[in-house]
Amino acid sequence: MNITLTFRLGRNTLPTETEQLHDLWRVARLLQPLGFPISRWYPPADTPEHSLLNPAFDDNGPAPAAVAILKAEMQALQTPWRRDTAVWNGTEGPGGVVCVNALSVDPYLPNCTLRLNAKRVDALQDTRNVVTVVQGLLQIWQARTLEVAPIRYQTRMKVFPDRPGAGWMLYVPTVLTVQQVPEAATLLPVMGQPRKQAGTLIISVADAPFSADNPDHVRIANRIEVRLVDQDLLPRYADQ
């Protein structure tokens, strides 16, 4: 299952490496109640074995070694307008989770992303758990869109390749009503500041995990996408 969140920094310079890793630490804290200890996240390295030598976080935030690794990578790349960083939970295959945060202050490519890829994680097959994680992510970043779907749905099965897909869940920064999206199983308001609704989380299937192998699930998600486009409520990636 993939969660993909898009946002913009709203500033002309990248945050520090410590600040970027701190946001990923906040993501790790969201996953901690689901069985992912905060001390078992690791920065990338040339081999999995080398990665496991350096925990990315401790209880208070990013570990100094992880910050140093990210700084060294950025000095080698010399790309002051863009920085990608990632952490993983040290598990390859089923049960593995990778979080990738890509930041940009390039005026021609201003979109930033947070991607969370989970491979057969039982806790993330529960609608309530996924909603809790999504709501937490929307408190970290002011999202332009957020998608929750299997990667096969995102890459091959959504209706509009140039727009976000409904998949299992889709956040749009628009207040929606049931009349506007009758195909959705649930619409959840997402609150911003100060106590004002910032957008809506559309849940296509509420009583089971979304499956790209289930024609009914795919049909519902596709209908939601068409419904939103007909009302000019589903932006193109290029327009975000």
The per-residue pLDDT string of the chain (240 residues; one tens digit each, 9 = 90 and over) reads 999 999 999 899 999 999 999 999 999 999 999 999 999 999 998 899 999 999 999 999 999 999 999 998 887 777 889 999 999 999 999 999 999 999 999 998 899 999 999 999 999 999 999 999 999 999 999 999 999 999 999 999 999 999 999 999 999 999 999 999 999 999 999 998 788 999 999 999 999 999 999 999 999 999 999 999 999 999 988 776
Q: Are residues 157 and 205 in the same domain?
A: yes
Same structural domain, 115 and 188: no
The total number of structural domains in the chain stands at 2
Distance CA 204, CA 13 (A): 37
pTM score of the predicted model: 0.94
55 and 129 together in one domain: yes
> How many Cβ atoms from other residues are within 10 Å of residue 88's Cβ?
21
- One domain, residues 138 and 23: yes
Say if CB 172 and CB 187 are below 8 A apart: no
| Cα–Cα dist 218/230, whole Å | 18
> What is the span of the domain harbouring residue 111?
1-143
Q: Is the dihedral of CA 214, 215, 216, 221 positive or negative?
A: positive
Other Cβ atoms less than 10 A from the Cβ of 123: the count is 15
